[in-house]
Amino acid sequence: MINKKSSLNNPVKGGLPLLFNAAKAAETLGISARSLWTLTQAGTIPHIRLGHRVLYSPQCLHKAVTKNTFIGGDKNGESL
């Protein structure tokens, strides 16, 4: 159960909220809410379900971006 004094939008350690709603997660990633939902359904973006709500951890969003970042070459990092 969530402490009534804390909120999903109140900062915790490190200054970030514990969880983002879909709108904030999409804004943070710089994509549309529809694109976020597509990535969520595909399993590319980790998420947390609390009842009917789908929420996103800022730390998991960062890890997903890092995991899916490719530098040069093909998607496996091999030179073309």
Please tell me the distance from the alpha carbon of residue 17 to that of residue 21, in angstroms, as a whole number.
10
Q: How much is the average pLDDT of 1-22?
A: 66
- pLDDT, tens digit, 9 for 90 and up, residues 24-74: 999 999 999 999 999 999 999 999 999 999 999 999 999 999 998 877 766
Please tell me the distance from the alpha carbon of residue 21 to that of residue 7, in angstroms, as a whole number.
12
Q: Please give the pLDDT value at position 15.
A: 73
Q: Which residue has the tokens 């529809």?
A: 34
Can you give the pTM of this predicted structure? 0.69
The token pair that represents 69 in the structure block: 């970042």
Backbone conformation region of residue 27, classed left if phi is above 0, alpha if psi is from -120 to 50, else beta: alpha
